[in-house]
Amino acid sequence: MKRKYTNNYDKIAPVYDLLSRLVYFNAQRSAQINQLIFLQPNSRILIIGGGTGWILEAITKRYNAGLEIVYVEISRKMMQLAKSRNYGNNQVLFLEKDLADYHCDTKFDVVMTAFLFDNFTTKQTKNAFPQIDSLLGKSGLWLYCDFYLNTEKGKWWKSAMIKMMYFFFRTFGMVETNNLIDMYPYFAAYNYIKKEESFYYHSFIQSIVYTKV
C-alpha cells in the first residue's frame, strides 16, 4: 500500500494565516512572494500544500490570466478557503487529495512547495521528493520555502521554536514528524541547480529557487 502524506490542518484552517503572522510577521509570505518574479507568462504551475490559497492572489497580481495552475491540498477546510480567493482569469484546478494519490502525465513548468517538507517524516520525504521531481519538466523551476536550522547563528532559539511548533501540531494530531529534515541532500542528489537563495526572519526561513537540469 502506498504511503500517504496524511498531515491535515483542518483544525486550524480558519486561523492559520493569523497564527503565521503573529509568530513570523510577514516573513513566511515574503519568502514566497519574492519568488514569484521568476514566473513566466503562460506557465503551467503545480502548487502542493498551498493552504488557505492566499498565494493565488499574489500570483494573480503578477499575472491575471494565461496561467494553468493545479492546486493540490489535503485539507478540506483549507481548500474551501483557497477556492474563495481571487485568481483572476487564470485556470485553476483544485484537487482535494493526498499528494500520494496525485498523478499527471503532463509536466509542469513550475512546482511550488512552501512549508511542505517540514510536515514529513524521513520516509515520507524519500517518497515525496522523487514523485514531485517526476512532475516537473526539464529546465523547470522548483520554488522551495521552509524553515532552516543549518546555521550556528541563533541555532538555540531556532531549535526551541521548532520543538514548540512540532509539539503544538503533534498535540492536535496534524503532523507525524517531530524533526526538521535537511533538504539540501535531496536536491543535490537529483542535480538541481540553485538559481536564487534568500533568508528571512533572522535566517530561520529559507527561500530557494531551483532549476531542474
Q: Where are the domains of the chain?
A: 10-211
> How high is the pLDDT of residue 1?
35
pLDDT-based confidence at 4, cuts 50/70/90? low
Interval 96-109: pLDDT, tens: 999 999 999 999 99
Which residue has 546555521 as its cell numbers? 151
pLDDT-based confidence at 150, cuts 50/70/90? confident
Q: Output the nine-digit C-alpha cell for 24.
A: 513570523
Q: For residues 56-60, give the mean pLDDT.
A: 98
Q: How far apart are CA 78 and CA 75, in angstroms?
A: 5
Assigned fold of 10-211: Rossmann fold (3.40.50)
Q: For residues 124-129, give the mean pLDDT.
A: 96
Q: Output the nine-digit C-alpha cell for 207.
A: 527561500
Closest CA relative to residue 116, chosen from 80, 75, 81, 66: 75
